[in-house]
Amino acid sequence: MISQVFILSSQGDHLIYKDFRGEAGSDVVNLFYEKVTALTGDQPPVVMRHKDVHFVHVRQGGLYWVATTTADTSPFTIIEFLNRLTALVKDYCGSLSERSVQMNFALIYELLDEVVDYGYIQTTSSDILKNFIQTEAVSSKPFSLFDLSNVGLFGAETQQSKVAPSSAATRPIQSSRDQGGKSEIFVDVIERMLVVIGSNTSLLSLSCSHPSEMRIGLNEEFSIGKSQLRGYGAAVRVDECSFHQAVRLDEFDSLRILRLCPSQGEQTVMQYQLSDDLPSAPPFRLFPTIERDNGGRLLMYMKLRCDLPPKRSVLDPTRLQSFSSELNLSQELSSPDQSAELQPQSRAVVWKIPRFPGGTQLSALFKLEVPGFSSASMLEVGPVSLSFELPKITATGLQIRFLRLSPFQPGPAQRWVRYVTHSDSYTIRI
């Protein structure tokens, strides 16, 4: 049972406030913000209490999404609800930010009114909700040069038009109503790597603007669980796999085909996990050398190698951090477009690499002046964490073989498939 729902910006501005049961006053909003700001650090606990009021909050898009409730409520339900609410707002408003929430507050009030009645969750299915929601979304589209580059000279087809911009899927689902029935389907295969020793969680998500039945084919060699015999060749194996409830699996066992009738908006079709051994080598390898020079300085020589096939470049800036407590930093990097800085707050050296083509190797030498340096301080150096985004690559090797729509589809549909591997936590011990 949810008593109130409110959305706060990170500065504490009230964006949305809705009281469902009239049991507590609206002063709880300020109370919540006081509690959050009173804590040191930027990570308040998920559940906080003030007398009989329990605050459960979720942070998404830089905003606090808070529900107040009683002690005996299921935290799984409340948190799942708040997450679902953020997903709905994202579907309806296009993106999730303070600005988009502010611009679409009427829409969000309308959504909340339909989703929750008297503190009880009624429905969160976007299929049902779209019949009730009347307000049009106001989308905040930042001007981007990339959109211009899509227009070919004299209307000619350019290579660019075969690639959708990465923000293509983030737009309000309702605006597609007046685009003359042109339907688009975006399938994202997103893998998140959690590497210390090596485990991996991923999800296959789908965002769709016009519902129709479709079939997604996965690799034929796809297998689940460890017990199954592994043949020769590059079989794709995951440990655990769960599907969205709308997915029909009658062809999955024999042909590895998922059949589903997606609703508008974004949904996670399949979630899979793989622990321990990755089928491919980890994408980055680091060869660190750490020593003291006779001036009492700490020398860190880092050699970073990207083991991806050549031509595949890593788009996102790679950041590399290592912990240590020191004061002065001087550096020698292998290329001028990289940069490195010392962050005294987190006691880390951050090395930013804007572009890192596959099959190459980069190196950096950091010299750190540490007051009161002793041999024990060497223990404090490390670990090194990398954050990156690898486009067009999945660590497990999962591929979408095909994406077929049912033959009764009214119009032609645009289909986009995207593969991304994120680093959730890629840590290398020194």
Partner 1 sequence: MPYIGSEDTVRDLRRVLSNPNVQSDQLRYRNTILKVIRAMSQGVDVSGLFSEMVKACATVDIVQKKLVYVFLCSYATLNPELSLLVINTLRKDCQDPNPMVRSLALRNMTNLRLPSLVEYVEQPLTAGLRDRAACVRRVAVLGWAKLHNLQTNSEIDAAVVNELYSLLRDPDPVVMVNCLRALEEILREEGGVAINKPITHHLLNRLKECDIWGQCEVLRILQRYRPQSEDELFNILSLLDVSLISPHPPVMAATLSLFLSLCSGLPAVGLAALERVRGPLLAACGNTSREMQFTALCHIQLLLRSLPGLMGEHYKRFFCGYAEPAYIKQRKIEVLVELVNDDNVAILLDELRGYCTDVNISTAHAAISAIGRIGRSYSDKCLEILTELLGLKQEHITSAVVQTMRDLVWVCPQCSRTVCSAVEGCEAEIQDSQGRHALLWLLGVYGEQVSSVPYTLEVFIDGVRSEASVGVKMELLTATVRLFLCRPAETQDMLGRLLHYCIEEETNMCVSDQALLYYRLLHCGIEETRKVLQCRRSDPSLGVLIGRPAEPINQWSYIFNTLEPLRPGAIETDDALTASVSAPLSLSLSPALSPEEFEDLWLQQQCPTIFRCSPQSLQAAMQLVNIQTLAFTPPHTLPWRVYLYTNTQNKHSADTCHGTLILGELLVKKNTAEKGIKVTLKQQPRDEKALKGFLSVLTTVLHALSSE
User: In this chain, which of 24, 77, 167, 355 binds partner 1, going by CB under 8 A?
Assistant: 77
User: In this chain, which of 63, 82, 214, 370 binds partner 1, going by CB under 8 A?
Assistant: 82
Distance, CA of 396 to chain centre: 18
Does 175 help bind partner 1 (rule: CB under 8 A)?
Answer: no
Tally Cβ neighbours within 10 Å of residue 364. Answer: 20
Report which of 333, 300, 343, 340 is spatially closest to residue 317, judged by C-alpha positions.
340
Least distance between partner 1 and beta carbon 179 (Å): 21
Report which of 299, 271, 298, 302 is spatially closest to residue 285, judged by C-alpha positions.
302
CB closer to partner 1 out of 116 and 413? 116
Q: Are 189 and 394 in contact (CB under 8 A)?
A: yes
Does 203 help bind partner 1 (rule: CB under 8 A)?
Answer: yes
Considering only 65-73, 159-167, 171-179, 349-357, which stretch makes contact with partner 1 by CB under 8 A?
A: 65-73
Burial class (CB in 10 A: 0-12, 13-18, 19+), 232: exposed
Does 17 help bind partner 1 (rule: CB under 8 A)?
Answer: yes
Sign of CA dihedral 131, 136, 142, 143: positive
Radius of gyration of the chain (CA): 25
Does 323 help bind partner 1 (rule: CB under 8 A)?
Answer: yes
Residues 6 or more apart from 151 whose CB is under 8 A from it? none
User: In this chain, which of 117, 147, 251, 307 binds partner 1, going by CB under 8 A?
Assistant: 117
Least distance between partner 1 and beta carbon 144 (Å): 26
CB closer to partner 1 out of 357 and 383? 383
- Contacts (CB under 8 A) with partner 1, residues 223-252: 240, 242-245
152: left (phi over 0), alpha (psi -120 to 50) or beta: beta
Does 105 help bind partner 1 (rule: CB under 8 A)?
Answer: yes
Does 71 help bind partner 1 (rule: CB under 8 A)?
Answer: yes
- Contacts (CB under 8 A) with partner 1, residues 348-367: 348
Q: Token digits for 222? A: 């796809």
Cα atoms found within 13 Å of the Cα of residue 112, Cβ hemisphere only: 25
User: In this chain, which of 24, 50, 73, 317 binds partner 1, going by CB under 8 A?
Assistant: 73
- Contacts (CB under 8 A) with partner 1, residues 127-166: 131-132, 134-135
CB closer to partner 1 out of 192 and 401? 192
Does 11 help bind partner 1 (rule: CB under 8 A)?
Answer: no
CB closer to partner 1 out of 108 and 413? 108
Residues, the chain, total? Answer: 430
Residues 378-407 as x/- pattern, contact with partner 1 by CB under 8 A = -xx--x-x-x--------------------
Q: Token digits for 274? A: 């793989």
Tally Cβ neighbours within 10 Å of residue 35. Answer: 17
